[in-house]
Amino acid sequence: MVIHTGAEAPPSGARADAGAGRPGRTPGRRGGGVRGVRAHTYPYWFYVPAGVVYGLVFLVPTVVSFYFAFTRWTLFESEFIGLDNFRQFFSEQALVSGLRNTLVYAVVTSGLKVVLGMLFAVLLTGPIRSRGLLRSVIFFPVLVSTVAVGITFSVLLQPDFGLVATVLSKVGITPPDWLGDPGTALLSVALVDVWKGVGLATLIYIAGILAIPKDFYEAVDVDGGGAWTKFRNVTLPLAAPATFTVILLSLIGGLRSFDLIWTMTKGGPGFSSDVIASTIYKTYQAGFFGLSTAGNVVLFILVALIVYPLSRYFNSREVQS
Amino acid sequence: MRTRTLRRASLEIVAVAVAVVVFVVPFLFMFLTASKDEFESADLTFALPTEWKVLDNIKGVFDARDGMLFTAFRNSIILTVVSVTILVVLCAMVGYVIQRRPGRAATIANALVLSGLIIPPAVVPTIWVLQQLHVFKTLPGLILVEVAFNMSFCVLLFRAFVAAIPRELDEAAMIDGCTGLSLFFRVIFPLLRPVTITVILTSSVFVFNDFVNPLYFLPGDENATVQLTLYNFMSQFDTQYNLLFMNIVLVTVPPLVLFIFFNRKIVAGMTSGAVKG
Amino acid sequence: MKHPRPSLAIAVVAATALVPLAACSSSSGSGDSSGGKTEITLLTDNAEATVKPAKAVIAAFEKANPNITVKTETRPGGAEGDNLVKTKLSTGDMADVFWYNSGSLLQALSPEKTLVDLTNDPALKDTDPSFLPAVTQKGKVYGAPWGTAMGGGILYNKDVYSQLGLSVPKTWSEFETNSEKIKAAGITPVLGTLKDTFTSQLYVLGDFHNVASANPEWADEYTANKVKYSTDPVALKGFEKAAEPKLKGWLNSSAGSTTFAQGIKLLAQGKAAQYPMLTFPISTLPPADAAKIGFFGIPGDDASKAGATIWEPGGQYIPKTSKNIEAAKKFVAFVASVAGTEAFSSAVPPTGPYLVKGSKLPDNAPPVAKDMQAYIDSKASTPALEFVSPVKGPSLEQIMVAIMTGQTPPQEGAAQYDADVTKQAKQLGLPGW
């Protein structure tokens, strides 16, 4: 991991998994070998309080979801119905398009966050006087409530009198009905997601870029290379760990994304911006608890299929480099 | 040379201007709309109000629906303070042992921490469990949920920080006769102060801003949180944009204040452990 | 009113947010039953359009019955409110009187176990008999009406109609001709407010009068899974009508992001001429604007059978666990009496008739209410499907939006809705599915 945050925290894993084999973290160089001492000093029961909460509220539901996903369920009684829920889930056109939308949303948001985050980070690590201010300005939306952002942008994007439409029409562009047109709704929400989240990506990249030793750039200077060469041959490859982090973070966030979509379009118009998470909520609201849980299992599998191999791959790349 | 500097400077001005337009105008818009009267705010234009109605609107939004916003702020504050307190204590303990005592237990614990970051929580089964515990639709229930769902992130921050504390310290304290809990709370925990502050700040922001979990696990008018109230007002204040946006401003102020005072800590916490995009 | 319900409760609140917001719980909380006074409690939903008239009615009731005080509680609307009502009933925690929906939602409360039987009770002496089927289960009557009936059909701007020399269409083809003329005049012929998705359902739900007049047994056959929207050519028309405005360029271009509060204003301003909707949002308009808007049922094919689909008023019910049943009945009777309806109208202008004997719409009632009254008086009205069948799928709103925005062809949308209904019926364990 190359992510130095510049603050007090030691270089920690922005990606959790990166931590395991790192030298600085390998504990017990001496003295720790005596079991009795360890048990006294670092007792296992320290895990217990956290473990109980985590186990009850997170693990148990995750595990039982694999049973309830195969039932018709009223919360009080459940009837085993085999694969019916999944059949139902995949036979409805709306739910299938939800699957596709989830992927589109996750890929678009993480792609844009990588590109824009990198771009902003390069600009903001350059010799700009106002970079402190700019960093804050770009980062602040990360801290703002998603609901607040969703409502504000729904108003700004209103096609008849919204600010965006007003400005665009002054320059002679007829804007689309961003959130009201089935063709643009999902992408419009994704853009707002990028607006809100790009600050975090930028800061992760800034940390990554600042950690690149200066000699690499000086070497390019000696060879007579320009800014582009520096970016292409130094920044881009050496900031790869930051790229991995940003991709993983935004994929995990994007695949599970619910709150922004729900506040801006409720999955509409029609089903055009429905994602798996919003389908889970709708089926839950309608009282189809088994079906909703089946949706959860589908999402679980999707996330596992995408994120797990990707993080393995990134990890191995990182070890090599 | 001078043309280059000039170009640089003008580029900078452009960059700043674009950033301001894209990232600041929405916030200005929130504030301006929140300062107008009902009639003017309905135009949704980006213009100064003819008459500043800030105080009237604050009063209006707190009076609406029987002062529901008061309840919501109270609930959100309780939720945030209690969840974060529990998170700090539990996760510091885990982060400490997980880092100091490698072995099979630590491997399993690490795997669980990772799963917590990646796996989307199973909603209805969680409701089912909360119901069995008789805490569904209660603030304590939601606190449990927030603690469980934010745990991984906090453990990571603590684990990373503990790694930077020399083991010699533990050993020295041990010789003084401190073990277990007292060693931890008298020696280690005070040393964790910097990361504790980071954890408090970042997880407060997450919990305070959380919308999905209250939506699922704490429905009902009487125990609304600020985010839920805001969401409900979205449809109820369809014609009173001044009040809707005043509400938005009010829920944006707490993170803004934290950000102004603890900019660096928050950034550090988010970039070093964030999986929350 | 099962149908737009979840969102409707919110919608009503939205509509009435124009009205200055008032406190929810009323009545100075003087100690109960002190000095021979009986205190009863009333549970209503928290929509402003309910809370406000409830206060007015209570004030009038307490004046007429100085020995009884009424305390109000409110509950959320939508699915959440449904669950709350069920929980309160099953735990014995229900208020002495509660205002709730009539029709299929009442059936879901198992009234024979939980509610006081009001069959032939004097509390219902002023209730119009036409209301009773909506609150009857297995031959027993459980409620009296509160508030007004609503029409579900097309709201239109009367000024636009008279300027263009149009008359109220009696058939769908007349409606098409009108719409073309309106379009030629440069006015939006048909308004869609799909940001509030529930408004999209009116094409199908409001078309039920035409379905029922073609086949009076349709609702029963539907409940028994013998007819379906996608295979019944008459029922399918509702879906086809929904697709037409977009196809023919009648629909407002920003339909996808317009809310119904914005829509009703556009209609009042004459920027749009026709708006398929329920009649209730009229009460949010200033009287001068409300006076410009009229109502007609969604036209069918046969001019001689033209009529409208109506939504019955909600019901007032008394739980068996109440300790003040006599006082509760007095209150119920008062609300469903002429004096009660007058108090109601003083707080919120009626947007439809009260189903109370002898009650008349006030002279200043908006035209939509009078238009509806005319349909009811000429027996050309049919209660909406949800009052006669428990079968209703949860995704109708989204499916209709997809049809109205041209994403799904009507035939396919109807088939999707049939599948959606099947899903729900299976979940409820209805026989025959």
Which of B23-27, C50-54, C364-368: highest mean pLDDT?
B23-27
- Asked whether residue C127 falls in the same domain as residue C260, the answer is no
Q: Which chains touch C (3+ CB pairs under 8 A)?
A: A, B
Q: Is C181 exposed, middle or buried (0-12, 13-18, 19+ CB in 10 A)?
A: middle
* C285 neighbourhood in chain B, CB within 8 Å: none
CATH number reported for the structural domain that contains residue A119 in this entry: 1.10.3720.10
Assess contact for C387 and C417: CB atoms under 8 A.
no
HEC profile for chain A? CCCCCCCCCCCCCCCHHHHCCCHHHCCCCCCCCCHHHHHHHCCHHHHHHHHHHHHHHHHHHHHHHHHHCCEEECCCCEEECCCHHHHHHHHCHHHHHHHHHHHHHHHHHHHHHHHHHHHHHHHHHCCCCCHHHHHHHHHHHHHCCHHHHHHHHHHHCCCCCCHHHHHHHHCCCCCCCCCCCCCCHHHHHHHHHHHHHHHHHHHHHHHHHHCCCHHHHHHHHHHCCCHHHHHHHHHHHHCHHHHHHHHHHHHHHHHHCCHHHHHHCCCCCCCCCCCHHHHHHHHHHCCCHHHHHHHHHHHHHHHHHHHHHHHHHHHHHHHHC
Q: Quick check: is A7 in a domain?
A: no
C314: left (phi over 0), alpha (psi -120 to 50) or beta: beta
- Asked whether residue C328 falls in the same domain as residue C346, the answer is yes
The pLDDT of residue A28 is 41
Q: Quick check: is C379 in a domain?
A: no
Measured distance CA(C77)–CA(C84) in Å, rounded = 9
- Asked whether residue C204 falls in the same domain as residue C108, the answer is no
Assess contact for C128 and C333: CB atoms under 8 A.
no
The pLDDT of residue C37 is 84
The single residue listed with the structure tokens 């950690």 is A211
Assess contact for A265 and A189: CB atoms under 8 A.
yes
With CA atoms as reference, the chain A residue closest to B195 would be A9
Q: What is the mean pLDDT of residues C13-26?
A: 33
pLDDT tens digits, one per residue of C159-217:
999 999 999 999 999 999 999 999 999 999 999 999 888 889 999 999 999 999 999 99
The pLDDT of residue A296 is 92
> Length of chain B in residues, anyone?
277
DSSP annotation of C108 reads: T
Q: What is the mean pLDDT of residues C148-158?
A: 93
Is the model's pLDDT at A30 over the cut of 70? no
Calculate how close chain C gets to B72, using CA atoms only, in Å.
15
DSSP run (H or E) holding C398: helix C396-404
Q: Quick check: is C374 in a domain?
A: no
Measured distance CA(C150)–CA(C147) in Å, rounded = 9
Q: What is the mean pLDDT of residues B197-222?
A: 89
Q: Quick check: is A183 in a domain?
A: yes
- Asked whether residue C397 falls in the same domain as residue C279, the answer is yes
**Residue whose C-alpha is closest to residue C369's, from C166, C214, C196, C150:** C150
Confidence of residue C49 (pLDDT cuts 50, 70, 90): confident
Which residues form the domain of A210?
88-320
Q: Chains B and C: how many Cβ contacts under 8 Å?
A: 40
Confidence of residue A55 (pLDDT cuts 50, 70, 90): very high
3-class SS of residue C217: coil
Number of domains in chain A: 1
Give residue ranges of B with CB < 8 Å to any C CB. Answer: 63-66, 219-221, 232, 235-240
Peptide linkage before A269 cis (omega within 30 of 0) = yes
A90-94, A306-310, C119-123, C378-382: range with lowest mean pLDDT: A90-94
From A42, A129, A161, residue closest to B44, measured CB to CB: A161
Confidence of residue A320 (pLDDT cuts 50, 70, 90): low
Is A255–B120 a contact, with Cβ atoms under 8 angstroms apart?
yes
* B15 neighbourhood in chain A, CB within 8 Å: 123, 128, 134
Contacts of A64 (CB under 8 A, 6+ apart): B122, B125, B128, B129
- Asked whether residue C390 falls in the same domain as residue C353, the answer is no
Q: Quick check: is B80 in a domain?
A: yes
Measured distance CA(C246)–CA(C239) in Å, rounded = 13
Q: Hey, of A37, A52, A60, A140, which one would you mutate to test binding to chain B, going by the most B CBs within 10 A of its CB?
A: A140
pLDDT tens digits, one per residue of A104-125:
999 999 999 999 999 999 988 8
Q: Quick check: is C339 in a domain?
A: yes
Is B113–A304 a contact, with Cβ atoms under 8 angstroms apart?
no
* A153 neighbourhood in chain B, CB within 8 Å: 26
Is the model's pLDDT at C429 over the cut of 90? no
Q: What is the mean pLDDT of residues A226-230?
A: 85
3-class SS of residue C364: coil
The pLDDT of residue A58 is 95
pLDDT tens digits, one per residue of A187-210:
999 999 999 999 999 999 998 898
Q: What ipTM score was computed for the predicted complex, to two decimals?
A: 0.89
The beta strands (E) that lie in C14-84 are given as 38-45, 68-75
From C194, C394, C416, residue closest to A269, measured CB to CB: C194
Q: What is the mean pLDDT of residues C80-102?
A: 84
Q: Quick check: is C210 in a domain?
A: yes
3-class SS of residue C137: strand
Confidence of residue A2 (pLDDT cuts 50, 70, 90): very low
Is C17–B219 a contact, with Cβ atoms under 8 angstroms apart?
no
The pLDDT of residue C75 is 81
Q: Quick check: is B5 in a domain?
A: no
C310: left (phi over 0), alpha (psi -120 to 50) or beta: beta
Q: What is the mean pLDDT of residues B93-112?
A: 91
Q: Hey, of B62, B235, B246, which one would you mutate to test binding to chain C, going by the most C CBs within 10 A of its CB?
A: B235
Q: Quick check: is B162 in a domain?
A: yes
Q: Is A228 exposed, middle or buried (0-12, 13-18, 19+ CB in 10 A)?
A: exposed
CATH number reported for the structural domain that contains residue B145 in this entry: 1.10.3720.10
Strands C38-45 and C97-100: parallel
- Asked whether residue C69 falls in the same domain as residue C42, the answer is yes
Calculate how close chain A gets to C196, using CA atoms only, in Å.
10
* C257 neighbourhood in chain A, CB within 8 Å: 154, 157-159, 177-180
The pLDDT of residue C177 is 95
Assess contact for C418 and C230: CB atoms under 8 A.
yes
Q: Quick check: is A47 in a domain?
A: no
Confidence of residue C80 (pLDDT cuts 50, 70, 90): low
The pLDDT of residue A314 is 85
Number of domains in chain C: 2
- Asked whether residue C330 falls in the same domain as residue C400, the answer is no
Structure tokens at A319: 């070890």
Is the model's pLDDT at A42 over the cut of 60? yes
Assess contact for C206 and C152: CB atoms under 8 A.
yes
The pLDDT of residue C81 is 75
Q: Quick check: is B21 in a domain?
A: no
- Asked whether residue C249 falls in the same domain as residue C319, the answer is no
Q: Quick check: is B57 in a domain?
A: no
The pLDDT of residue B236 is 66
DSSP run (H or E) holding C279: none
Measured distance CA(A301)–CA(C14) in Å, rounded = 40
Is the model's pLDDT at B271 over the cut of 80? no
State the alpha helices, DSSP H only, in C143-271.
158-163, 172-184, 202-205, 208-214, 218-223, 233-247, 260-268
* B29 neighbourhood in chain A, CB within 8 Å: 152, 155-156, 163
* C398 neighbourhood in chain A, CB within 8 Å: 94, 267-268, 270-271, 274
Q: What share of chain B in percent tops pLDDT 70?
A: 94
- Asked whether residue C203 falls in the same domain as residue C284, the answer is yes
Structure tokens at C269: 């301003």
Is B221–C76 a contact, with Cβ atoms under 8 angstroms apart?
yes
The pLDDT of residue C338 is 94
Which residues form the domain of C255?
150-310+385-428
Number of domains in chain B: 1
Q: Quick check: is A72 in a domain?
A: no
The pLDDT of residue A319 is 64
Q: What is the mean pLDDT of residues B77-92?
A: 96
Q: What share of chain A in percent tops pLDDT 90?
A: 40
The pLDDT of residue C25 is 31
The last residue of one of the domains, among C360, C375, C393, is C360
Q: Quick check: is C380 in a domain?
A: no
Q: Is the dihedral of CA C45, C46, C49, C53 positive or negative?
A: positive
pLDDT tens digits, one per residue of C302-320:
999 999 999 999 999 999 9
Q: What share of chain C in percent tops pLDDT 70?
A: 91
Which residues form the domain of B112?
64-273
Assess contact for A110 and A204: CB atoms under 8 A.
no
Is the model's pLDDT at C282 over the cut of 50? yes
DSSP run (H or E) holding C97: strand C97-100
Question: What pTM, to 2 d.p., does this model score?
Answer: 0.81
* B44 neighbourhood in chain C, CB within 8 Å: none
Q: Quick check: is C286 in a domain?
A: yes
- Asked whether residue C253 falls in the same domain as residue C225, the answer is yes
CATH number reported for the structural domain that contains residue C290 in this entry: 3.40.190.10
Is the model's pLDDT at A13 over the cut of 50? no
Is A68–B125 a contact, with Cβ atoms under 8 angstroms apart?
yes
Measured distance CA(A135)–CA(C138) in Å, rounded = 69
Q: Hey, of A178, A271, A281, which one would you mutate to test binding to chain C, going by the most C CBs within 10 A of its CB?
A: A271
Calculate how close chain B gets to A192, using CA atoms only, in Å.
11
Confidence of residue B125 (pLDDT cuts 50, 70, 90): very high
Is C46–B236 a contact, with Cβ atoms under 8 angstroms apart?
no
Q: Quick check: is A53 in a domain?
A: no
Q: What is the mean pLDDT of residues B172-184?
A: 79
